[in-house]
Amino acid sequence: MNLEKPLVIITGASKGIGYKTAETFLDNRFDVLNVSRNACTLTGVSNIKLDLISATDEAIKNKLSSHVPHTRRIILIHNSSVCYNDTVQNFNAAHWQDTLRLNVTIPALLSQWLLPQMMPQSAIVFIGSTLSEKAVGNTCSYTVSKHAVLGLMRTVCQDLAGKFIHTCCVCPGVTDTEMFRLRVENNPALLAKLTRLQSDDRLLQPQEIAEAIFMAATHPIFNGAVLHANGGQIER
């Protein structure tokens, strides 16, 4: 890695929104580091292969320290997420804990550990959801976690006042990712319903969300902001 170049660290850059985000930052001359179970296959991306749910805090911290030993401009993007179909009547306690760990606790810990390496003009970007500010049925643990992500971003904004490190939360709408496809697998009625939520009756594409993330990460004016990247979602 070239210490003269800014570094973007993305959790879950092996596919979907994370992959396209890594590609976008590469195209804009950033060093890119992926942290996830699977490697990002883009040429030029460095990888820390870790299961962020099962790995110990110490193991994650040590791996990060070995890859980010120097102070530099860093963009930290909390993209990894897990979503179970569950309700308050039937959620699984283990799934609940895994969801909160990956979606909320890991972003808080990574931010804490990396802040000492972050020069002014760095940024922390949280990936929320339309469910950061509302709820729908059968997404209990995910919705709770994404509400918490929004609260975490707002807290980070207040705690970092005067540090010249900005933070924001990008909230995608219904995006055509592997996680989304698994959720609607064998349920064409649900797929059609969620597609119709967009004002132009289509699924958003990961590249569109990646471009919104890049804008948010590189423009400090968005400090503390919630960016609704949902294509004009319609409430039905």
Residue 225's alpha-carbon distances to 79, 111, 151, 171, 219, in angstroms, are: 17, 17, 11, 10, 11
pLDDT digits (tens, 9 = 90+) for 36-86: 999 999 999 999 999 999 999 999 999 999 999 999 999 999 999 999 999
pLDDT in tens, 225-234: 999 998 887 7
H or E stretch at 158: helix 140-159
Q: How sure is the predictor about 1, in pLDDT bands with cuts at 50, 70 and 90?
A: low
Q: What does the block give as tokens for 190? A: 């649900």
Query: What is the model's pLDDT at position 3?
Result: 67
Q: What's the pLDDT score for residue 228?
A: 95
Is the predicted pLDDT of residue 24 greater than 90, yes or no? yes
Quick check: 214 and 29 in contact, CB under 8 A? no
Give the model confidence (pLDDT) of 203-223 as tens digits.
889 999 999 999 999 999 999
- Greater confidence (98 vs 189) lies with 98
CATH architecture group of domain 7-229:
3-Layer(aba) Sandwich (3.40)
Q: How far apart are CA 74 and CA 119, in angstroms?
A: 7
pLDDT greater at residue 193 or residue 119:
119
Instruction: Sketch the domain layout of the chain as residue ranges.
Output: 7-229
Q: What is the pTM of this model?
A: 0.93
